[in-house]
Structure 1
Amino acid sequence: MYQYLNETFQKHNFDQASLQDGELNNCTFEQCSFKGSSMEEMNSIGCRFIDCDFTGAMLNASHHKGSAFTNCKFTGANLFVSKFEDCKMVGSDFSNAYLDGITLIGGDWSYTNLRHTNLSKQDLRGIRFTEADLMGCNLQKSDLRGADLSRVQLSQCKLKGADLRDAIVEGIDLKSLDLQGVLMDIDQAVLLARSFGAKVGN
């Protein structure tokens, strides 16, 4: 097991590296490449990954707490049963990544590409998803109470049984969604009614 503490790496090449079962504490990685690297069961705490490339990396069962992955590429990465707790993921791309069993706890996932991800039955309360692309995601029975869904792309999403109460839904075309079985609060119901042309008043 390895451990990095308070280290900084810029434009470093970690491609195909064996980095599994280690711990990164308060480290900074800027424009680094982790293509095809083995990072299973590794932990990051308070780290910053800026413009890094994790294409094809093995991150299954990894755990990240209070770390930031901004504008990172996870194309084709394996994130099976990984956990992201209070992380900042702004602008990162998860195209064709394997995300089954992933756990998201809090954090900022604004502007991310999470198309077709299975997030069913997840506790997603309070997470910020502003302008994220969640097209085709499975959000059935997910708890999205208090989440920021401003201008999120939700077309083709499965939402049956999801809880949207107190979520911010500004900029979402509610009438275009299949809302059967979705829990909504009064304000959201009024927005939905108005989107169909209803005049709501006392």
Structure 2
Amino acid sequence: MFEYQNREYEDVDFGSQEMRDGELVNCTFVRCRFAYGSMEEILTTGCRFTECDFRGASMNGSIHTDSAFENCKFTEANLFAAKFDSCKMTGSDFAGAKLDGFTVVRGDWSYTNLRQTRLDRQDLRGARFFEADLSQTSLQKADLRGADLTRCVLAGAKLQGADLREAILDGVDFKSLDVKNVRMDREQAVLFMRAYGAKVD
């Protein structure tokens, strides 16, 4: 086990390094590569990763608290049972990532690519998904209460059993949604009906 504190790295390739069970505290990484690396159960606190490459990395069981992953690539990474607590994930790409059992505690997921991912039964309460791409994502029985889904792309998303109460849905294309068995509050139901031309007094 290792621990890095208050370090800065730029354009460094960590992919071949053994980083499992390590701890990173208040470190900064710019354009670094962790592709296909071993990062199981790693802990990050207050770290910042900018334009870093985590493609195919094994990050299962990792825990990230108050860290930022801005414009990073997580394509095909293994994030099984990983936890992101109050993290900033803006602009990151999760295409093909394994997200089963991962945990989101609020945080900012704006502009992320979560297309075609499986987020069934996830607790996503209070998270921010401003203009995120959630098209064809499976969100069945997910808890999205209070989440910010402003201008989020949800075309083809599976929402059966999801809870959207108190979520912000401004700019969402309701006509692209299948809302069967979706829990909505009254205000959202009115917006949905108006999208189909209903006049609601």
- TM-score, normalisation: structure 2: 0.97
* Conserved? CA contact 2:12–2:33, under 8 Å: yes
Shift of 1:138: 1.3
**RMSD, aligned α-carbons:** 0.9
In the other structure, the counterpart of 2:64 is 64
**In structure 2, what residue type is equivalent to 1:62?**
S
In the other structure, the counterpart of 1:138 is 138
Shift of 1:13: 1.3
Give the distance between the partners of 2:122 and 2:79, measured in 1 at CA. Answer: 16
**In structure 2, what residue type is equivalent to 1:85?**
D
In the other structure, the counterpart of 1:85 is 85
Aligned pairs for 1:138-177 (under 5 A) are 138-177=138-177
Aligned pairs for 1:33-44 (under 5 A) are 33-44=33-44
Give the distance between the partners of 2:76 and 2:142, measured in 1 at CA. Answer: 24
Give the distance between the partners of 1:28 and 1:6, measured in 2 at CA. Answer: 8
Deviations 1:59-114 (A, max 9, x none): 11111011000000111211111111110000000111111111111100000011
Which runs of at least 4 in structure 1 moved beyond 2 Å after TM superposition?
Answer: none
Q: Which moved more, 1:101-110 or 1:113-122?
A: 113-122
Give the distance between the partners of 2:92 and 2:176, measured in 1 at CA. Answer: 26
Shift of 1:15: 2.0
Give the distance between the partners of 1:193 and 1:30, measured in 2 at CA. Answer: 46
Shift of 1:132: 0.7
* Conserved? CA contact 2:86–2:107, under 8 Å: yes
Paired residues, number: 201
- 3-state SS of paired residue (2:188): helix
Deviations 1:11-33 (A, max 9, x none): 11112211000100011101111
Give the distance between the partners of 2:94 and 2:144, measured in 1 at CA. Answer: 20
* Conserved? CA contact 2:158–2:178, under 8 Å: yes
In the other structure, the counterpart of 1:25 is 25
**In structure 2, what residue type is equivalent to 1:82?**
A
* Conserved? CA contact 2:2–2:23, under 8 Å: yes
Deviations 1:6-59 (A, max 9, x none): 111111111221100010001110111111111001100110001101111111
Seq. identity, %: 58
Give the distance between the partners of 1:59 and 1:67, measured in 2 at CA. Answer: 15
Aligned pairs for 1:184-195 (under 5 A) are 184-195=184-195
In the other structure, the counterpart of 1:199 is 199
Shift of 1:175: 2.5
**In structure 2, what residue type is equivalent to 1:187?**
E
Pairing 1:54–2:69 present: no
List runs of 5+ in structure 2 lacking aligned partners.
none
Give the distance between the partners of 1:139 and 1:169, measured in 2 at CA. Answer: 15
Shift of 1:176: 2.3
**In structure 2, what residue type is equivalent to 1:118?**
R
In the other structure, the counterpart of 2:11 is 11
